[in-house]
A and B are shown apart, each in its own frame.
Chain A
Amino acid sequence: NAGVTQTPKFRILKIGQSMTLQCTQDMNHNYMYWYRQDPGMGLKLIYYSVGAGITDKGEVPNGYNVSRSTTEDFPLRLELAAPSQTSVYFCASSYFDIQYFGAGTRLSVL
């Protein structure tokens, strides 16, 4: 039982490039989340999903897109990367309000 798995762990992007952050969970949780964590700030919700085919915006969705074609996978897409998207990204899934976090993806946009 791997829990929540995120790939890659680290990535450096050039301004304007695109990439997909992968997130998969093997706990059959319906609820999944993407957060970003900036230095000295609390985690902020980017997007969330309550089940396959259903996604919605969180507090800071601009510059990102998500999809949820299966219960297991919840990828986060960055289009036209900008320096403001330099952050650590966490994927999480939840069951009865307990959230399980992935190990994070550290992204730098230069």
Chain B
Amino acid sequence: KNEVEQSPQNLTAQEGEFITINCSYSVGISALHWLQQHPGGGIVSLFMLSSGKKKHGRLIATINIQEKHSSLHITASHPRDSAVYICAVLYSGGGADGLTFGKGTHLIIQP
């Protein structure tokens, strides 16, 4: 099955830094998701994108369909942003059979 690659795998930054997490995929998709998994294990959907850019608070997600690449940015990072960020894609024609997930980026924001 087609892969979803995320980078970096681990990222430690200082509070206030601008954070970028990258996601690339290999074939056409109908949607890309960014998810957040907190240390307690729960998974929350942050964004769903099929084109362009979305913003929610300090989080910004972009996607470039031609380059098969998406980025998640966090502005003015805070220790509470520490979590695993997961990119997942729904392949074109994938229909109901679920998402394909990256391995996640483990982000730690130090005070």
List 8 A-B pairs, minimum CB-CB distance, nearest first.
A42-B101, A101-B43, A45-B98, A43-B101, A50-B96, A42-B103, A104-B41, A33-B98
A97 to chain B, nearest CB (A): 5
A98 in contact with B45 (CB, 8 Å): yes
Give the nearest-CB partner of B106 in chain A: A40
Say whether chain A's binding surface is mostly helix, strand, loop, or mixed.
strand
Tell me if A106 counts as interface (CB < 8 A to partner B). Answer: yes
18 A-B residue pairs with Cβ-Cβ distance under 8 Å, sorted by A, are A31-B96, A35-B101, A42-B100, A43-B86, A45-B98, A48-B97, A48-B98, A56-B96, A58-B97, A88-B41, A97-B48, A97-B90, A99-B33, A99-B45, A99-B99, A101-B42, A101-B45, A104-B43
Q: Which residues of B contact A88 (CB under 8 A)?
A: 41
B40 to chain A, nearest CB (A): 8
A62 to chain B, nearest CB (A): 16
Complex: how many Å from CA A75 to CA B106? Answer: 30
Interface size class of chain B, counting residues whose CB lies under 8 Å from the partner chain: 20 to 34
Taking CB atoms and an 8 Å cut-off, the chain A residues in 16-64 that contact chain B are 31, 33, 35, 40-45, 48, 50, 56, 58-59
